[in-house]
Amino acid sequence: MKNIGQREDQIVVVTPPMPWITLMLVLMCILGFYLSHSSGPQWLKDNAFVCEKYFQQENILEQVQYCLFPTFCQLNIIHMLANAYFIWIFGSQIELRLGNALMAVIVLVSMLTGWISLAQILGPVAFPLFVGPAFLLCALLGGYLILMPGKKANLMGAANPRYSYRIFTKETKMDPLEHFGVSPWLLVLAAVGYLGYMHWDLGHTESLFDILRPLPCLINLVIGLVITMVLIMMITQSVEANPMKALARNRYKELRALDMTHDMSVQGTALALGVPREAVEEWLGTGKHL
């Protein structure tokens, strides 16, 4: 969290981090689509992930470099739009809660483990050619399952910075997009359904390309879960069955340490984590006595 808060008389400023890492990922997907669309099919073939080429790299550093760009190669505009949307939905919510630096850790680790596990499982085969951020999405999905919002998830992710950086006293303007939330499980099912359909469709059209294999996806899902849990334990220095509860208690204590009232601290925690005030009150339990 860049600035948990500061007190100036009775005004509290809560500044959750802007999701710059997630935004960069989305822009890289758009760039990958532009390059593939403007340069033709051969460019996509040259920049796709091929297990055989992975094993031909001379050292570990070259293998790591080879794993980076295929994530952002896009087959078509539908592929690009869906990838960008789900990266933003899951990534922005994770980054809002964990911050930019820890989000970068999740992204870098998951980008490498997805492609490396794919190569180790398939061996040095020449086909198919793999493109897209399916493995990265699975890791973000794992993190999202740990940091899942309450009963409703914003369809636009953390997309409204005007309401992320708020100054409040007793009255707080609420983000109008919060009225258009859906069950977070619906977003999870939509992402899984999209990845599954794309994999099935490419397999039945005899395409040279594919976007995933199920086992590496499962590995990255577990990696996303584990990394997120470990990072939360590092932040809060505690182990909780509900990670969001641990983050809420940690944020609440930081605000109380700034000599803010209980109500201010609860409201600030809710804004900082992007969750309803009622959820924070439930997680804190006896928070007023902390």
Mean pLDDT in residue range 70-87: 96
What DSSP designation does 180 have? G
Here the tokens at position 17 are 């981090």
Note the pLDDT tens digit of each residue in 136-195: 999 999 999 998 876 777 787 765 544 444 434 444 455 555 556 788 999 999 999 999
* C-alpha distances in Å from residue 246, one per residue of 175, 213, 285: 25, 34, 12
CA 244 to chain CA mean position, Å? 15
Average pLDDT, the chain: 84
Task: Please give the CATH topology (third level) of the domain spanning 15-239.
Answer: Rhomboid-like fold (1.20.1540)
Mean pLDDT in residue range 50-61: 94
Q: What is the pLDDT of residue 277?
A: 83
Q: Is the peptide bond before 128 cis (omega within 30 degrees of 0)?
A: yes
Distance CA 22, CA 209 (A): 25
Mean pLDDT in residue range 24-44: 94
Q: What is the pTM of this model?
A: 0.85
Give the CB-side neighbour count of residue 232, counting CA atoms within 13 A. 26
Domain boundaries, the chain: 15-239
Find out whether 94 and 144 touch, Cβ atoms under 8 Å: yes
- H/E segment holding residue 15: strand 11-15
Distance CA 71, CA 258 (A): 42
Q: What is the pLDDT of residue 139?
A: 97
Distance CA 254, CA 230 (A): 20
